[in-house]
Amino acid sequence: MSQPENSTERDIKMPDPALLGRSMADVARRSQRLVADWMKRMGEPGSDKPMNADPLNIAGAFMDMTAKLMANPSQLMQAQLGFWQDYMTLWQNTTRRIMGVESTPVIETDPKDKRFADEAWKQNEIFDFIKQSYLLSSRFVQDVVTRVDGLDPASARKIDFYTRQFVDALSPTNFLMTNPQVLRKTAETGGENLIRGLNNLLGDLERGHGKLHIKMTDTDAFNIGENIAVSPGQVIYENDLMQLIQYAPATPRVLTRPIVIFPPWINKFYILDLRPKNSLVRFLVNQGHTVFMVSWVNPDARLSEKNFSDYMVEGVFGALDAIESATGQKEVNAIGYCLGGTLLASTLAYMAKKKDKRIKTATFLVTLTDFTDAGELGVFIDEEQLQALEDKMNKQGYLEGRDMATTFNMLRANDLIWSFVVNNYLLGNEPFPFDLLYWNSDATRMPAKMHSFYLRNMYQKNLLVEPGGVSMNGVPVDLRDITIPVYFLSCREDHIAPWKSTYKATQLMSGPKRFVVAASGHIAGVVNPPEGGKYNHFTNNDLPASPDAWFEGATEVAGSWWPDWQRWVLSHGASETQPRVPGGGKLKPIEPAPGRYVKLRIT
């Protein structure tokens, strides 16, 4: 059968000249404005100061690696020989495939790697060759840099981390001419996807005021208090650092002892109240708990002098005093999430010194107390980087929220950076509305004094595990003084608070302890409602010194950890009382939940 005459015109759409002209004129106008804004900033006072060309202190680590690598050239030669042998095999296999002969791949993609999900990466010989070439090259580079002898551990971690960033950036999926999905879309739309992508890129630069602020989700699809963070309640107390929300009861009887939750102030609290179907708050009130949530303020320069102890005094103690006024109950169960958990542990050690027994049980969600191995975040904690960060914070009084968000996104660059580069800029798509990514993009600032204390004393010096190493409100504290029942929930794939590091707290605190590991990561493993039926968890009543020994003896349990926690907390007090309506005590409502503090976004 002969080929249709106009097959090319049928398969490839030609762009509309008028639309293309208008689009390019708009691109030119917006680009000119961005450049003008940048030039204006360069002309402002102080902008002519010499910039630190290596603020992350990467060059020194790589120079050290290169010197040690050159001192043992045989190791490099051996790696190169293996690489070239694999590459020659790939050439031979590709030739066979072009001739119609099936061949076994030299290197397979990780089943979890979503970058090469398009069928063309397997079915088309050329794209399969590009994919395998990239995988072989990336394996070679990473093998070389991770096998250098004589590097100190900190430099080795930094080299490994930034090598992976480099390798991920060079993936063929990130470029127009080597991504079959993008090429297909370009042919189908006549290049309109690239014009839309360029407009998306300019829009992200404009929103970031000249810095790339990738739009991860449709931010217009969500409104705090309307379709996320909708659990009914009232703000009953507030101060400079936080608002305290009391949620409405949902059962005819409630447990006598209220629950107070201290989320991290790195992010906003509503990760625990995204939507009714995955809301931990909704689960707790349905189980008969009177739930109080701390909503931290998004600080500005006025709060630059707030320190870690201020978060204890105004946050934890402010909440405890308010709960007593609202309910008449002194005793509470407390939950701390991530940094909120680190604050809770520090506060409990302080309370033990002061004989303050208001918190009767404590739950630590993905919380580090021993920072010996803080995961890949440790890459960013060396003296040079801390000094540069402190200089920046001291000038403006806080750490900008986007700086923190960028750091966390780099830990999962393929999922949280490059996938959006491909989707938004190359395919020209609009981001999909996703509540979790909306929350992830809702960054908050860190007060300069507090953040410096936290990074230096916890991450850099690991003083919280030392008796008296950290002082809270002038009192040296010791985690070994904590004797109340505690529940630890950690996550097996957590890249922020590695579960083996969080396990070390079980060997520090002195009271009854339960340790549970959930599947998935720092967020999905925690926010895992029973109805979802998604991630399992592991339990073990024994607490050996080694986390590996704990896991070896653990039992895998299907489904969410939430019911396990509910059984645990009831075992430490299950008396009931009449439901408490927000505002029914001595504290009157200030405004409906979720309050105004959480609605302040960084523009």
CA angle 319, 324, 328 (to 5 degrees): 160
| Position 592, amino acid | P
φ, ψ of residue 237 to 5 degrees: the values are -160, 150
Contact 309/472 with Cβ under 8 angstroms? yes
More confident residue, 195 or 342: 342
Read off the tokens for 550.
Answer: 């704990």
pLDDT-above-90 percentage for the chain: 64
Contact 517/532 with Cβ under 8 angstroms? no
Buried b (16+ CB within 10 A) or exposed e, 168-200: beebbbbeeebbbbbeebbeebbbbbbbbbbbb
Contact 334/359 with Cβ under 8 angstroms? yes
pLDDT mean over 530-540: 92
Three-class SS state of 122:
helix
Mean pLDDT, the chain, as a whole number?
Answer: 88
Bond before 45 cis per omega within 30 degrees: no
Nearest Cα residue to 196 out of 19, 323, 363, 65: 19
Residues near 390 by beta carbon (within 8 Å), at least 6 away in sequence: 448, 452
Least confident of 83-87, 114-118, 234-238: 83-87
Residue 44 has what pLDDT?
54
Res. 87 pLDDT band, cuts 50 70 90: confident
pLDDT mean over 236-244: 98
DSSP label at residue 47: T
Residue 3 has what pLDDT?
42
Residue 35 has what pLDDT?
57
Nearest Cα residue to 347 out of 366, 375, 319, 328: 319
Contact 530/504 with Cβ under 8 angstroms? no
pTM of the model: 0.87
Give long-range contacts, CB 8 A cutoff, 24+ apart: 158-164: 158/57, 158/58, 158/61, 158/379, 158/382, 159/61, 159/62, 159/65, 161/376, 161/379, 162/56, 162/58, 162/61, 162/62, 162/379, 164/413
φ, ψ of residue 524 to 5 degrees: the values are -65, -30
Q: Is 30's pLDDT higher than 90?
A: no
Least confident of 40-49, 249-258, 427-436: 40-49
Contact 140/79 with Cβ under 8 angstroms? yes
Rounded to an integer, what distance in angstroms lies between the CA atom of residue 426 and that of residue 173? Answer: 10
Let me know if 338 is a catalytic residue. yes
For the chain, state the CA radius of gyration.
27
Q: How far is CA 386 from the centre of its chain?
A: 20
Report the DSSP beta bridge partners of residue 296: 242
pLDDT digits (tens, 9 = 90+) for 172-200: 999 988 999 999 999 998 888 888 998 88
Residue 9 has what pLDDT?
40
Rounded to an integer, what distance in angstroms lies between the CA atom of residue 214 and that of residue 206? Answer: 11
DSSP label at residue 444: -
In the numeric block, the tokens 């971690």 are attached to 157
Nearest Cα residue to 600 out of 446, 445, 449: 445
| DSSP for 340-354, written as a single string | HHHHHHHHHHHHHHT
Q: E-assigned strands of 48-193?
A: none
Nearest Cα residue to 408 out of 338, 496, 296: 496
Residue 53 has what pLDDT?
52
pLDDT-above-70 percentage for the chain: 90
Q: Is 8's pLDDT higher than 80?
A: no
Rounded to an integer, what distance in angstroms lies between the CA atom of residue 112 and that of residue 92? Answer: 27
pLDDT digits (tens, 9 = 90+) for 119-177: 999 999 999 999 999 999 989 888 888 878 778 777 888 888 888 888 899 899 999 88
Least confident of 107-121, 155-169, 247-261: 155-169
Rounded to an integer, what distance in angstroms lies between the CA atom of residue 86 and that of residue 204? Answer: 41
Residue 6 has what pLDDT?
42
Catalytic hit among 338, 381, 491, 524: 338
Residue 4 has what pLDDT?
41
Rounded to an integer, what distance in angstroms lies between the CA atom of residue 204 and that of residue 537? Answer: 39
DSSP label at residue 588: P
Q: Is 411's pLDDT higher than 90?
A: no
In the numeric block, the tokens 């099936």 are attached to 102
Alpha-carbon dihedral angle through residues 167, 172, 177, 179, given to the nearest 10 degrees: -150
pLDDT mean over 400-419: 85
Domains in the chain, ordered, with CATH?
Answer: 55-189 (no CATH), 233-372+464-599 (3.40.50.1820)
Q: Is 12's pLDDT higher than 60?
A: no
Contact 341/364 with Cβ under 8 angstroms? yes
pLDDT digits (tens, 9 = 90+) for 374-398: 888 888 888 888 998 999 999 999 9
φ, ψ of residue 225 to 5 degrees: the values are 95, -10
More confident residue, 281 or 377: 281
Give me the half-sphere count of Cα atoms (radius 13 Å) on the Cβ side of residue 410. Answer: 20
Nearest Cα residue to 461 out of 578, 374, 580, 577: 374
Q: Is 599's pLDDT higher than 80?
A: yes
Rounded to an integer, what distance in angstroms lies between the CA atom of residue 251 and that of residue 289? Answer: 9
Residue 7 has what pLDDT?
39
pLDDT mean over 95-116: 90
